[in-house]
Structure 1
Amino acid sequence: MRRLFFLVFVTIISSSFFYKGIAQNTSERGNQFHQELSKRTGPIHLLWDELLQKHVSDDGNVNYKSFKTEHKKLLGYIKVLGLFHSNDIFKTISKEEKLAFWINAYNALTVDLIIRNYPIKSIKDIKNPWKQRLWKPANLNYNLDEIEHDILRKMNEPRIHFAIVCASYSCPKLQNKAFTAEGLEKQLTTATKEFLADTNRNEISENSIKISKIFDWFSKDFTKNGSLIDFLNLYTDINISPNTKKRYKDYNWALND
């Protein structure tokens, strides 16, 4: 147990700015990190946060060429996620911590998938991108479809659809900050509002809406507590009429670079 958390701790501090100001006694720091992880998962995502800020613009455009130069760091982060997922403490963390964990994992694995195949023009240039077995924590074997449909969607938080990305122009932008339990509510709200306000992805007025196909593909997720219009009105500044007819925009699968 102690060795596992020491390895997690070392992986983070050796690859990120997290090491600044730490004590020399790594054994003590390992124990402190163990205690901290029982309360929150934030430290785990520091390396992902650093990579996002370096290689993703405020508009969500990803510089995959520069990201690829730090592929080893990305793989180190993914390994840390696997180590934490494999530990018993993972079973005890809050819903918010699990949501942040799985959102970050999905996005990191998507970036990893693109980098492995870069240069490409679209994620669809990759054979079965959402079915590939990308990650094997605790002897499990996850693909992107399973993380999205079997884990995240079952957590009853429809805003996850604006937090996870498919590396494409029409998908929600990749946020250039890691998701954390502490900031999750604000981050999900911001991601949802930004997506709806982006006229390249949605065209919304009081009596006419032409919206992303995400709302068609996952319609059940947005109508559990009311109509789709009810959901949209929660996150737009425009008061959409209840009787407004909806249309869907064509989905552009060009790479988000």
Structure 2
Amino acid sequence: MSPLSRLAIFGLLLFTAACQSGCAYVRYFTPLNPTSKDSRPVSHAPWDALLQKHVNEQGMVNYAAFQADSAALNTYLTTLSDNLPSDQWSDQERLAYWLNAYNAFTIQRVLRAYPLKSIKDLGGDKTLVNTVWDQPFIRLGNDKHTLNDIEQRIIRKRFEEPRIHFALVCAAMSCPKLRNEAYVAARLNQQLDEQATEFVNNPAKNKLTPADKPEVSSIFSYYPKDFAKDGNSIQKTINRYATQKINPDATLSYMTYDWALNEQGK
């Protein structure tokens, strides 16, 4: 074998090894659209009952009590897994389904390892590669997927809706509050508006004074393009819901994200 051939093979091996540890994020560029042929919209009443029972008005979770209801949660998630959206569902029905699925599977993942201090303890530290959000524990039909698949490949790819970032909850203190009711198609727009208003005006998540230099949630820095579509901006999004307006050209800084578990009593 020539030196050039050996060099090419060596380079290929290095590339393969690197991709095994660092190229997993590439999957998130590909849209995902798992569907069922003839399914009807799922009732989210079981999830609604669990949220009302174990989540308070501040969005804090009683994980210990929730753990005792794991069977009911698992039954609901099995229903979701077996009844993917069909092409006959409205966009509101689809989005409500995926928001509830993301939040409910997040709770399930925490409960499987509870007690713990942070959901980040359940995975590695390489974003979009080996974190807890990159673990394929979610069954959708016959395939296994990740939390990031639901957020990055389904919700963000299919729905032009920045308010999803005020509704998806990653079990951490700096996340939006976990709503203590399920999302439902008939009231989804109102629910998303309420989530946005609560999040933007929560001083623990966004410090809107001084108006020229507010300190806002890092969520806005994680997804800046989602808030910049159709002539919008982060500042415009904040002012759409804020009671204390910020300057349209305000210089933004971002708060340190608190990944401590959103647990009652903390």
Say whether the fold is shared (TM-score over 0.5): yes
- Relative to the length of structure 1, the TM-score reads 0.81
Q: Which amino acid is 1:44 matched to?
A: S
| Bigger mean CA offset, 62-71 vs 151-160 | 151-160
Instruction: Specify the alignment match of 1:82 in structure 2.
Output: 81
State which structure, 1 or 2, has the greater radius of gyration over its C-alpha atoms.
2
* Poorly superposed stretches of 4+, deviation over 3 Å: none
Tell me how far 1:90 sits from its aligned partner. 2.0
* 234, 238, 241: which one aligns with 1:235: 241
Aligned-residue CA RMSD (Å): 1.2
Q: Deviations over 1:191-236 (max 9, x none)?
A: 0110011101100133231001100010000000222211111111
For 2:179 and 2:191, the matched residues in 1 are separated by 9
The residue matched to 2:111 in structure 1 has which SS? Answer: helix
Tell me how far 1:254 sits from its aligned partner. 0.3
| Preserved CA contact (<8 Å) 1:55 1:66 | yes
For 1:134 and 1:98, the matched residues in 2 are separated by 21
Instruction: Specify the alignment match of 1:66 in structure 2.
Output: 65
Q: Which amino acid is 1:145 matched to?
A: N
Structure 1 segments unaligned to the other structure (5+ residues):
1-36
Instruction: Specify the alignment match of 1:47 in structure 2.
Output: 46
Q: Which amino acid is 1:209 matched to?
A: P
Instruction: Specify the alignment match of 2:252 in structure 1.
Output: 246
* 132, 154, 160: which one aligns with 1:156: 160
Tell me how far 1:69 sits from its aligned partner. 0.2
User: After the TM superposition, which residues 169-248 of structure 1 pair with which residues of structure 2 at under 5 Å, given as runs?
Assistant: 169-205=173-209, 206-225=211-230, 226-248=232-254
Tell me how far 1:238 sits from its aligned partner. 2.5
- Relative to the length of structure 2, the TM-score reads 0.78
Instruction: Specify the alignment match of 2:136 in structure 1.
Output: 133
For 1:143 and 1:220, the matched residues in 2 are separated by 23
Instruction: Specify the alignment match of 1:16 in structure 2.
Output: none
Instruction: Specify the alignment match of 2:24 in structure 1.
Output: none
The residue matched to 1:75 in structure 2 has which SS? Answer: helix
Tell me how far 1:145 sits from its aligned partner. 0.5
Length, aligned pairs only: 215
Instruction: Specify the alignment match of 1:165 in structure 2.
Output: 169
For 1:152 and 1:142, the matched residues in 2 are separated by 14
| Preserved CA contact (<8 Å) 1:203 1:211 | yes
Tell me how far 1:137 sits from its aligned partner. 2.3
Q: Deviations over 1:127-148 (max 9, x none)?
A: 2310111222222221001100
For 2:223 and 2:249, the matched residues in 1 are separated by 20
| Preserved CA contact (<8 Å) 2:83 2:141 | no
The residue matched to 1:62 in structure 2 has which SS? Answer: coil
The residue matched to 1:255 in structure 2 has which SS? Answer: coil
